[in-house]
Amino acid sequence: MKNIADLYESGSQASQKGHFRNLVLIARNDGQVLESESALLKNIANKLSLTNEQIKEIFKNPEDYPFIPPVSKEERMERFIRLVKMAMIDGSISDGEEFLVKKLGLSLGFEQDEVNSYMDRIVARIKAGPSTKEIMDSLEA
């Protein structure tokens, strides 16, 4: 249930909650949330300035949080990288996770060929171990 503060949150806050919701959906895609997925979710929630209460509510009712893509391409790319990282956290991407990540990539405003190309390149870079910033820089090159 939403409280009065939720009614007056900024577009940015709503977008961040929607992004976190997408990460939760990917983590739950196979029916369980692994410790590694939970740790990544906590790290990202901290970066998004989400409270423990907000995190619990999003986990409990993800359908209550709409997906609102950011305007800037840089933010959209950063979110797409996070989605791929969440799907890859256990070392591989299941078919269900791949489908969901690609669907969300399209929702972020990328074209189908961009989603496929970016995903392949991001997966390769994640396996090499660089940071999100380094991955973003390599995609722009």
Structure confidence by residue, pLDDT tens digits, 40-86: 999 999 999 999 999 999 999 999 999 999 889 999 999 999 999 99
DSSP state of 121: H
47 located within any domain: yes
Instruction: Report helix angle 35-47 to 73-88, nearest 10.
Output: 160
Q: What is the pLDDT of residue 23?
A: 95
Cα–Cα dist 15/120, whole Å: 26
- In this model, does residue 141 exceed pLDDT 90? no
The amino acid sitting at 11 is G
- In this model, does residue 5 exceed pLDDT 60? no
108 located within any domain: yes
115 located within any domain: yes
Q: What is the mean pLDDT of residues 76-102?
A: 93
Cα–Cα dist 3/12, whole Å: 17
pLDDT band at 91 (very low <50, low <70, confident <90, very high): confident
3 located within any domain: no
109 located within any domain: yes
Cα–Cα dist 66/94, whole Å: 24
- In this model, does residue 18 exceed pLDDT 80? yes
- pLDDT above 70 covers what percent of the chain? 92
123 located within any domain: yes
72 located within any domain: yes
pTM reported for the whole predicted model? 0.82
Q: What is the mean pLDDT of residues 87-101?
A: 92
DSSP state of 135: H
Tokens at 112, concatenated: 């189908």
pLDDT band at 12 (very low <50, low <70, confident <90, very high): confident
Cβ contacts of residue 22 below 8 Å, gap of 6+?
A: 67, 79, 83, 104
2 located within any domain: no
Tally of domains in the chain: 1
Give the CATH number, domain containing residue 79: 1.10.3680
CA atoms within 13 A on the CB side of 117: 9
- In this model, does residue 105 exceed pLDDT 70? yes
Domain boundaries, position 51:
9-140
Q: What is the pLDDT of residue 46?
A: 94
Cα–Cα dist 102/121, whole Å: 13
